[in-house]
Amino acid sequence: MQEKQILLYDVIIIGGSYAGLSAAMSLGRSLRRILIIDSANPCNKSTPFAHNFITNDGQTPQNIRDNAQKQVLAYPTVTFLEDLATDVIPNDEFFTVLTEKNETFISKKILFATGVTDTMPNISGFGECWGKTILHCPYCHGYEAKGKKTAVIGNGDMGYELAKVINHWTDNLTLYTNGTSTLTPNEMLKLQKHDIAVIEHDIDYLDQENGILKAVYFKDATPQYPEVIYTQLPFIQQCSIPEKLGLKTTEKGFIHVTNHLETSIQGIFAAGDCLSLFRSVAHAVASGNKAGAIINKCLIDEEF
């Protein structure tokens, strides 16, 4: 039986959402042979609308991805594969990529645009509300929630800083520390100055309907009725391959990259949410665009 010939790609992009597609467009326009491998599991899949992205403000995340994919695949050297990358094996000159569907591909460069996965707290109803009435970013969703009865879930410096930011969008704000406060006396005074109440009781569960928050129930206090909540969740890298490769990470758990978006392994790059706290469509697109141009320049330098 004749062996299947494996095509050598210039770049394999693992992750085909905003950063990955943006990088693919930059590389496709640079005449590079590109393969995008994507498992169709974007981190903002529960968010009904995307904002703060000019020309697409208020569009659904899916519509933005669909339109981007259609435009990217108009470039003949770009291929899209719906599959899950399971391993990347560095060789002397190239990288071998294995997938869940037992496919094998090789490329000169790798770009991780794989995003992160938020770790949900053990609070009933929280996951249903996430991305709808429990939000992570006022720049993405704050305008639509402006002036509403709002809460922040957080404690210590993180809770204080988030409450300080969200206070700009509403004059009806409460901070839930979800347990004994670790706020400093000075932070408490600042919150009181701005009429931000602090509730230290443990949250029991959230009453919600189709992700629309109705009430917050505490274990030993009367319920509260905010219309929207902001919080910052811990996360893990959505793709386990960077850890398997031993890529260097930051203290916060992001993939560490140079100013040229190259990781600790030469020839492997990263873009988008997997390396940055700024989780927005616009930032992911910009990051991917930059990565595509940088990778193309690396290929030019090596070939010239």
Number of alpha carbons in the 13 Å side-chain half-sphere of residue 89: 9
**Kind and range of the H or E run holding 270:** strand 268-270
Cα separation, 269 vs 107, whole angstroms: 13
170-197 pLDDT, tens digit per residue, is 999 999 999 999 999 999 999 999 999 9
Asked whether residue 74 carries a pLDDT value surpassing 70, the answer given is yes
pLDDT(279) > 80: yes
Alpha-carbon span 66 to 82, nearest angstrom: 13
Residue 205, pLDDT above cutoff 90: yes
Average pLDDT score over residue span 254-276: 96
In the DSSP assignment, the letter for residue 169 is G
The structure tokens listed for 60 are 């659904």
- Please check the confidence at residue 2 and state whether its pLDDT lies above 80: no
Distance between CA atoms of 200 and 177, rounded to whole angstroms? 5
Q: How many residues does the structure list for the chain?
A: 304
268 forms bridges with which residues in the sheet? 110
Number of H helices, E strands in the chain: 8, 16
178 sits in the region (left: phi over 0; alpha: psi -120 to 50; else beta) called: left
Task: Tell me what percent of the residues of the chain surpass a pLDDT of 90.
Answer: 88
With bands split at pLDDT 50, 70 and 90, how would you rate the model's confidence at 278? confident
Question: How is the beta sheet containing 173-176 ordered, strand by strand?
Answer: 134-135, 228-231, 150-153, 173-176, 197-199
Note the pLDDT of residue 1: 45
Summary mean pLDDT of the chain: 94
CA 220 vs CA 123, 174, 201, 204: distances in Å = 15, 17, 7, 9
| pLDDT over 80 (residue 19) | yes
Q: Is the pLDDT of residue 7 over 90?
A: no
Q: What is the pLDDT of residues 219-263, one digit of tens each?
A: 989 999 999 999 999 999 999 999 999 999 999 999 999 999 999
For the ranges 85-89, 248-252, 273-277, the lowest mean pLDDT is seen at 273-277
The pLDDT of residue 200 is: 96
C-alpha distance from residue 76 to each of 64, 112, 113 (Å):
21, 22, 21
Q: Are strands 104-112 and 134-135 parallel, antiparallel or unpaired?
A: unpaired
